[in-house]
C-alpha cells in the first residue's frame, strides 16, 4: 500500500520543490502543505525535527532534511537506482546541480542595496560550471544527464535552473539559460515530460519558469 505523505514547506519553490516534482513525476499522491512566514512558521517550528522545513510526514512519522527527503521521493518515483555504483553516478550529479544553488546562499544576507551586484558576480563565477554542465549533457547524448531516461539528477538540475530563471534571485536574468543552449534544452526536456507539464499547467509567478522556456 502506498504511504500517506504530507510535505510541509513554504509556498515558494525553494528547497521543497524537488520533492514536489519527484512525487508528481512518480504519480504519487501527497498533501502539499504551505506554511506562512512569521507567526505560523514559529508556531510549527517545534514540530520540525531540526527546526526547519521542508519536512515530510510519512504514515504519521515526521522526517526532515531536504536531501534525505528528495532521495526517498526519488526512490518512490522510480528515478533513483538501487545499485550502489549507479546511485553514486546520480548522486555526484545531484551534488553538482546543488552547487549552482548554493553559490547564491551567501547573497541572502547581503544588504538589499548590494544584492543585485553580488548576484551578478555569482553568475559570472558560475560560467565554468555551466561549461562543465554543458559538456556532461553533450556526452550523455540523450538530452538527459545519464542515459536515455530521466533520473533524480535531471529533476534536481531542472529545479535549480528553474529557480535561477524565475526571478527569485534579483540580479539573475530570467533569460540566463539562453547563453547555455544545451542546459536550456535539458530544462525544457524535463519540463515537457507529461506528468511534470501537467503539474505546472496552471503555474504562475515564480513557477512560470518551471514550464518550457521560450
Mean pLDDT along residues 169-185: 97
Is 185 within 8 Å of 206 (Cβ atoms)?
no
DSSP 56: E
Q: How far apart are CA 58 and CA 20, in angstroms?
A: 14
Other CB atoms within a 10 A radius of the CB of residue 37 amount to 10
Closest CA to 133 of 168, 106, 164: 164
- pTM for the predicted model, two decimal places: 0.97
54-78 residue pLDDT tens: 999 999 999 999 999 999 999 999 9
68 Cβ partners below 8 Å, 6+ apart?
A: none
Q: Find out whether the peptide bond into 54 is cis, omega within 30 degrees of 0.
A: yes
List Cβ neighbours of 178 (8 Å cut-off, separation of 6 or more).
Answer: 184
3-class DSSP assignment, residue 146: coil
pLDDT tens per residue, range 2-22: 899 999 999 999 999 999 999
Amino acid at each position: 500500500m502506498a504511504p500517506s505523505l504530507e510535505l510541509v514547506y513554504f509556498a515558494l519553490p525553494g528547497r521543497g520543490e524537488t520533492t514536489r516534482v519527484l512525487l508528481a513525476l512518480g504519480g504519487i499522491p501527497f498533501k502539499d502543505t504551505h506554511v506562512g512566514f512569521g507567526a505560523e512558521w514559529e508556531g510549527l517550528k517545534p514540530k520540525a525535527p531540526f527546526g526547519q522545513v521542508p519536512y515530510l510526514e510519512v504514515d504519521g512519522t515526521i522526517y526532515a532534511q531536504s536531501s534525505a527527503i528528495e532521495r526517498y521521493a526519488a526512490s518512490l518515483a522510480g528515478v533513483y537506482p538501487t545499485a550502489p555504483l549507479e546511485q553514486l553516478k546520480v548522486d555526484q550529479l545531484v551534488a553538482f546541480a546543488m552547487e549552482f544553488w548554493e553559490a547564491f546562499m551567501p547573497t541572502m544576507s547581503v544588504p538589499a542595496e548590494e544584492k543585485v551586484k553580488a548576484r551578478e558576480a555569482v553568475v559570472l563565477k558560475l560560467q565554468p560550471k555551466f561549461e562543465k554542465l554543458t559538456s556532461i549533457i553533450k556526452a550523455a547524448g540523450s538530452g538527459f544527464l545519464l542515459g536515455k531516461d530521466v533520473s533524480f539528477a535531471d529533476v534536481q538540475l531542472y529545479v535549480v535552473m528553474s529557480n535561477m530563471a524565475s526571478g527569485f534571485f534579483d540580479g539573475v536574468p530570467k533569460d540566463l539559460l539562453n547563453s547555455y543552449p544545451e542546459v536550456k534544452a535539458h530544462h525544457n526536456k524535463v519540463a515537457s515530460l507529461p506528468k511534470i507539464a501537467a503539474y505546472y499547467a496552471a503555474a504562475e509567478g515564480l513557477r512560470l519558469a518551471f514550464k518550457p522556456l521560450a
